[in-house]
Amino acid sequence: MDFNKNVGQPVSRLEGKLKVTGQAKYAAEYEADNLLHGYVVSSPITKGKIINIDITQAMAIPGVVDVLSHKNRTKLAWFDLQYTDMDAPPGTVFKPLADENILYNGQPIALVVAESYETARYASTQVIFEYEQETFQTDLESNIPNGRSAKKGFATALKPPPPPPTGDFQTAFEQAPVKVAATFQHGTEHHNPIELFATTTIYEGKGKLTIYDKTQGTINNQLYVANIFGLHYKDVRVLAPFVGGGFGSGLRPQYQLFLCVMAALHLKRNVRVVLERKQMFFFSHRPPVKQNLRFASDVEGNVTALGHSVFSETSNFEDYTEAIANWSHKLYPAPNTLFDHKVVPLDVYTPLDMRAPGGSTGMHAIECTMDELAHKLKIDPLELRLINYSEIDPSSNKPYTSKALRDCYLQAAEKFGWSNRNPEPRSTKRGNKLVGYGMATGIWDAFQFPARVEAMITKEGRMVLNNATTDIGTGTLTVMTQIAADELGLSLEEVDFNYGDSQKPFSMFQGGSSITSSTGVAIVVAAKALRKKLLKKAAKMPDSRFKNLEDTEVFFSAGNMHLKDHPNVFVSLKNIIAFNNSKPIKTTNMGKPHMLKLRKYSLATHSASFVEVEVDQDLGTVMVTRAVTAVAAGKIINPKTAASQISGSMVWGISKALHEETFMDHNLGKYMNTNLGEYHIPVHADIGQLEVIFVEEKDELINEIGTKGVGEIGLVGMPAAISNAIFNATGKRIYKLPIHFDELM
């Protein structure tokens, strides 16, 4: 008898009405008495030292309260910490206003605080700086000889280095009858969520702060502020109930948080700091990468050698890495492999995880190389994947907890009409447009982190849950409510999921497509404990029929607890709480990965993307007319919000392949297109027909609810599928992303 009614249903976002009617408040929208406004002054030079700061003219402007810099900043800041947040890579974390040294262009060098934002912004133009400039290096290509292995640190546990070599790659590649060698380049991309980074700090007095912040991790930022400023973490409360997009940019505390808190503590006033759109380009970017790939096979298409070397950008003060070269051997068995990843330190800010970090970069190169190998072999690209299909993870020789990738291939190919593809490039036309078909595989990690959830039943019979996680627009509130409702047989209207608050029980930051499998599992664990408590209390009620029972002998439905063998025998949750003197029955429990069991397995989400493009023969312009992505991600809690995540990722795949790139003038060490007018992202007219398929995949091993994340898997296959479709349409193989129309003319 299954009484679950909510999980698996296409439920609209519960907070959707608040957002579309403007009732949802974001970090820069909370009201506060006597609020001061801070405006960040950014360095116009790329490297050097500040010789002098003259704030005389700025301070003379009515309404200006202070100008904070390294010369007069508060002494409360504790700058000796090596790691200050849960996502910090190895190295020395950047410390705003620490000293006179300039490490990268756009670095915050002062904060003007005034009674209004407009006053602070104007006054920033009146702060006079004198600099001593130094030689800098910002070009990845010319500094590749300086590449080196990254240092190891906490964050690298989630981004393992490439696996060790196997067999004799060099000999196998040289002697192979069919082989491909190619070099791929990926440009810099910047996170551009619609909500600007902002912090509103409420000074409560006696070292207590309430902070409204744009973040993907309330507890992460709480610990950061407490550690940096020497405060007790219980005196720092970070709230982020609504986040206007993150995509990874909010995983680490950004510098506006530090500056806002510093100003509030220094002035003992409420302060708000909001970054401009231009300043959003001064941190958090997907790094430029150069990849050299060498794949080989026998004449039947069995891959015999996989070689993948990577050079990626990092800052001169932290070693940021991504898992880029690791993916091919998790998909394709090959006896001879050679993988390598070097980081190249440059005078830039540290890169930061951006949706499907490493996966979207690495899989583009891998799947384009597989497509080129298929073309040389005269084998259908889908058939080549099936020839090299493995039910286990070849890189570790471990079975996957589940893998329905074959079904992804077959269902998406059928839906797309892949059998109609003409393998001969430039063979299909539609008017003046060359038409091409391309496909690619997607793979992404199936992460789960520990999480704690407090669950209770109130005297009204409502279920209330508390957890510190955020909802960055992915539908977290809705999905958690669905899971909780089914655990106690309630309707969605009878469940309150409270989140986005560092005072709630622990949650990691929301990233890596992990929260449903983390907080969701914790809800299930807490609900099981709560059911036992409710049964125990019901057993003590007068004339109870629930004595001496195990929790498996009851079920919950419509606000009642029923006997399984006699469903007509029940007691309402309200009556149980009334018997408890109207006091809520509550529990707090942790959900966590089953590490001992799972270490025997490989964990991954899989997808297959199929794309049709039209390329104008005269202009070289590319239109993705339609695309199908099939995803195997275990149980899908909400197919509506999950499909939204996949289609959003597909749009980003189009953006990565054809639009998105930040240009740096290496003579200036400066990004030149720091606005949404010149940093190109697709608009509605750029997007054709997108279809999402969720392939049935039952995973009884991975966690208590059988889920894998869907936030990023829809992106990783799309850029390669588009690139491969362009080759099929034009006969031109473009190895640099994004692909510009002039390269196809």
User: In the predicted model, what is the mean pLDDT of residues 54-80?
Assistant: 89
pLDDT for 473 beyond 80: yes
Cis peptide before 738 (omega within 30 of 0): yes
> Does 9 map to a domain?
no
pLDDT for 78 beyond 80: no
Domain edge (last residue) among 529, 559, 592: 592
> Does 4 map to a domain?
no
Query: What pLDDT was estimated at residue 75?
Result: 74
> Does 304 map to a domain?
yes
CA–chain centroid gap for 458, Å, is 35
The reply to whether 664 and 515 lie within a common domain is no
Q: Which tens digits make up the pLDDT trace of 490-510?
A: 999 999 999 999 999 999 999
Q: Which tens digits make up the pLDDT trace of 126-161?
A: 999 999 999 999 999 999 999 999 877 654 567 889
Q: Which tens digits make up the pLDDT trace of 21-62?
A: 999 999 999 999 999 999 999 999 999 999 999 999 999 999
The reply to whether 70 and 102 lie within a common domain is yes
User: In the predicted model, what is the mean pLDDT of residues 282-307?
Assistant: 97
Which tokens hold the place of 474? 């992915």
Question: Comparing C-alpha atoms, which of 200, 265, 198 is closest to residue 229?
Answer: 265
Q: pLDDT class for 585, splitting at 50, 70, 90? A: very high
Q: pLDDT class for 81, splitting at 50, 70, 90? A: low
Count how many domains the chain has: 3
Report the alpha-carbon angle 9-14-15, nearest 5. Answer: 150
> Does 11 map to a domain?
no
The reply to whether 414 and 487 lie within a common domain is no
The reply to whether 295 and 414 lie within a common domain is yes
* Phi, then psi, of 308 in degrees rounded to 5: -150, 115
Residue 590 CA neighbour count, 13 Å, CB half: 10
For 119-155, give the DSSP string: HHHHHHTT-EEEEEE------TGGGGGG-BPPPP-GG
Q: pLDDT class for 217, splitting at 50, 70, 90? A: very high
Q: pLDDT class for 451, splitting at 50, 70, 90? A: very high
Query: What pLDDT was estimated at residue 79?
Result: 61
The reply to whether 526 and 607 lie within a common domain is no
Give the Cα separation of 284 and 273 in Å (integer): 18
CATH number of the CATH domain containing 645: 3.30.365.10
The reply to whether 271 and 299 lie within a common domain is no
Q: Are strands 271-274 and 198-205 parallel, antiparallel or unpaired?
A: antiparallel
Give the Cα separation of 145 and 129 in Å (integer): 35
Q: In what order do the strands lie in the sheet with 554-557?
A: 554-557, 560-563, 570-572
Say if CB 505 and CB 560 are below 8 A apart: no
- pLDDT > 70 fraction of the chain, expressed in percent and rounded: 98
Query: What pLDDT was estimated at residue 156?
Result: 58
Q: Which tens digits make up the pLDDT trace of 176-215?
A: 999 999 999 999 999 999 999 999 999 999 889 999 999 9
CATH number of the CATH domain containing 269: 3.90.1170.50
Sign, CA torsion 694/696/701/706: positive
Say if CB 669 and CB 138 are below 8 A apart: yes
Query: What pLDDT was estimated at residue 2?
Result: 46
Question: Comparing C-alpha atoms, which of 633, 646, 636 is closest to residue 604?
Answer: 633
The reply to whether 586 and 488 lie within a common domain is yes
Ranking 22-36, 148-162, 417-431, 577-591 by mean pLDDT, the lowest is: 148-162
> Does 531 map to a domain?
yes
Query: What pLDDT was estimated at residue 235?
Result: 98
pLDDT for 682 beyond 70: yes
Domain edge (last residue) among 542, 566, 592: 592
Higher pLDDT, 206 or 639: 639
Say if CB 501 and CB 217 are below 8 A apart: no
Ranking 76-90, 115-129, 567-581 by mean pLDDT, the lowest is: 76-90
> Does 10 map to a domain?
no
Q: Which tens digits make up the pLDDT trace of 376-402?
A: 999 999 999 999 999 999 999 999 999
Mean of pLDDT over the chain: 96
Query: What pLDDT was estimated at residue 174?
Result: 98
The reply to whether 333 and 388 lie within a common domain is yes
> Does 31 map to a domain?
no
User: In the predicted model, what is the mean pLDDT of residues 535-553?
Assistant: 96
The reply to whether 241 and 117 lie within a common domain is yes
Residue 117 CA neighbour count, 13 Å, CB half: 8
Give the Cα separation of 404 and 402 in Å (integer): 7
Q: Kindly give, in sequence order, each residue whose CB lies less than 8 Å from that of residue 314, ignoring residues fewer than 6 positions away.
A: 89, 150, 287, 320, 321, 343, 344, 345, 346, 350, 351
For 51-85, give the DSSP string: EEEE-HHHHTSTTEEEEE-TTT--TT--TT-S--S
Q: Which tens digits make up the pLDDT trace of 691-713?
A: 999 999 999 999 999 999 999 99
Query: What pLDDT was estimated at residue 1?
Result: 42
The reply to whether 176 and 211 lie within a common domain is no
The reply to whether 264 and 355 lie within a common domain is no
The reply to whether 339 and 396 lie within a common domain is yes
Q: Which domain holds residue 548?
A: 16-22+450-592
> Does 170 map to a domain?
yes
CA distances from 87 to 249, 252, 422, 510 (A): 11, 6, 46, 11
Residue carrying structure tokens 């708000």 = 272
Say if CB 463 and CB 456 are below 8 A apart: yes
417: DSSP letter? T
Residue carrying structure tokens 């084998």 = 379
Domain edge (last residue) among 592, 613, 637: 592
